[in-house]
Amino acid sequence: MGEAREIAERLLDAQVEFLLAEVSGARFAEVIARDVDAVIGVADTLVVREVVGIEQAKQTVRTVVDLIGGSPVFADTAGVFANSIYDHIADNDEYTLGDVVEREPVEALLAKIFGMHQAQERMLNRLTESPLVATVAAKFVDKLIDDFMSANRERAEKIPGVSSLMSIGQSAANRARKVAADNTFVGDLAGKGALFALKRTNNAIREMLRDAPVHSAAMEFWDLHADEPVSGLREYLTRKDLEELVLLVYEIAVTTREKEYFGLLLDECVEVFFQKYGDLSLAAMLPELGLTEADIAGEILRYGPAIIEGAKRDGVLAALIRERLEPFYTSAAVLSILAG
């Protein structure tokens, strides 16, 4: 058996050298092209729902969202990315906003938003249920009236005698406000007045969205910025504002993914995916994902050589290959064959 073991060692050395050569130099590209083609050929015989069960897929999706969504990498880099993006935008005068974002989809998006009358009606109706919003609306209306009165007072003061009348009217209004603050009945009326102001405000919003050229005005606003450098965007918020906004959105996303209902939504997405693609083969899924064999091979070749060369240093890769093959070559069955 000693001679058989020596032959086994020589065969093991030869196969280790052979496998190392397969992943070295130009040969590596040929091997990848061959193996990708072979894998795609096998994948063409495997149907999605026969390989992956729907319950398995649900669990996998939940696990990926849970682990990756809560990864420290995202937590650590969210603010860093925001700062880096802000700094790059602040320094970039080469590209305009119109170069970065096409006008047509923006126009379609705004048209859709302004055309969502059901959502607008529902939102405005729900606003009437909030006393605080009604108070805000009342203050808004009061501000409009005060501004109107102030503008007219300036004109009126230019006419002899009218200035005194305006002063008397203002004093009466101030006394009325003080009475309203101290009187429950008047306070109730003020509450009803706030609700009335809110309804009037809502009606004005409805009319503006339905009848006014809001969409055209919004696109005009867009066009004013489209030809300006993207660096101009920093005028709308500070570096700190952007960082805090990104972190707040990230916090909402992280906490939402932990909710049971979010898991149910993920399950529903998996079911829809299986309804649409479950009967396709794995190979037929590639075009649906926008991938080709060349894309897969190209990405492997983009990173593979550097990884392989790094693993080959100091004989690490050779040792790993030997470790996995040696039990076969030194097994009793193989030694018996070689001895025979």
C-alpha 162/C-alpha 166 separation (Å) is 6
Q: Are residues 211 and 136 in the same domain?
A: yes
pLDDT, one tens digit per residue, over 100-129 is 999 999 999 999 999 998 999 998 888 888
- Confirm whether 37 is domain-assigned: yes
274 has pLDDT over 80: yes
Q: Are residues 34 and 103 in the same domain?
A: no
> In the listed set 228, 243, 263, which residue is the last one of a domain according to the structure?
228
Residue 292 to residues 18, 36, 151, 184, 333, Cα–Cα distance (Å):
29, 10, 69, 75, 43
Say what the pTM is.
0.73
Higher-scoring residue by pLDDT: 40, 190:
40
The pLDDT assigned to 190 comes to 56
Give the domain-ending residue among 193, 228, 263. 228
Residues 222 and 322 in one domain: no
Q: List beta partners, residue 47.
A: 281
**Domain count for the chain:** 2
DSSP string, 221-268: HHHHHHTSBGGGGGGSS-HHHHHHHHHHHHHHHHHHHTSHHHHHHHHH
Residue 55 forms part of a structural domain: no
Q: Residues 333, 210: one domain? A: no
Domain assignment present for 236: no
Pair (37, 128) in one structural domain: no
Average pLDDT on 141-151 reads 72
| Residue 198 CB-half CA count within 13 A | 20
Per-residue confidence (pLDDT) for residue 237, from 0 to 100: 86
pLDDT at 202 over 60: yes
Sign of CA dihedral 86, 92, 96, 100: negative
Measured distance CA(220)–CA(215) in Å, rounded? 9
CA 100, CA 85: separation in Å to the nearest integer?
Answer: 14
- Say whether pLDDT at 152 is over 80: no
For residue 271, what are the contacts with CB-CB under 8 A and spacing of at least 6? 54
- Does some domain include residue 275? no
Q: Average the pLDDT over 69-75 and give the result.
A: 80
Among 228, 249, 265, give the residue marking a domain's end: 228
* Domain assignment of residue 267, yes or no: no
Q: Within a domain: residue 58? A: no
Secondary structure (3-state) at 47: strand
- Amino acid found at 234: R
Confidence category of residue 185, pLDDT binned at 50, 70, 90: very low
pLDDT, tens only, 80-103 = 889 888 888 877 888 998 999 999
- φ/ψ of 290, rounded to 5, equals 80, 25
For residue 163, is pLDDT > 70?
no
Q: Are residues 215 and 101 in the same domain?
A: yes
Q: List C-alpha distances in Å: 325 to 12, 35, 126.
A: 7, 20, 70
Residue-wise pLDDT tens digits, 211-244 = 889 899 999 999 989 999 988 888 888 889 999 9
Exposure string of 153-188, with b = 16+ CB inside 10 Å and e = fewer, is: eeeeeeeeeeeeebeeeeeeeeeeeeeeeeeeeeee
Task: Please report the pLDDT score of residue 149 as a whole number.
Answer: 67
The pair of three-digit structure tokens given for residue 310, joined into one six-digit string? 């790094």
Same domain, 288 and 220: no
Phi, psi (degrees; rounded to nearest 5) at 90: -65, -30
- Does 240 fall in a domain? no
The position carrying tokens 């003080």 is 178
Region of 25 on the Ramachandran plot (φ > 0 left; ψ -120 to 50 alpha; else beta): left
Boundaries of domain holding 319 = 1-46+281-340
| Same-domain pairing of 181 and 293 | no
Task: Tell whether 30 is covered by a domain.
Answer: yes
Same domain, 115 and 216: yes
> Residues 107, 192: one domain?
yes
Average pLDDT, integer, range 149-174: 58
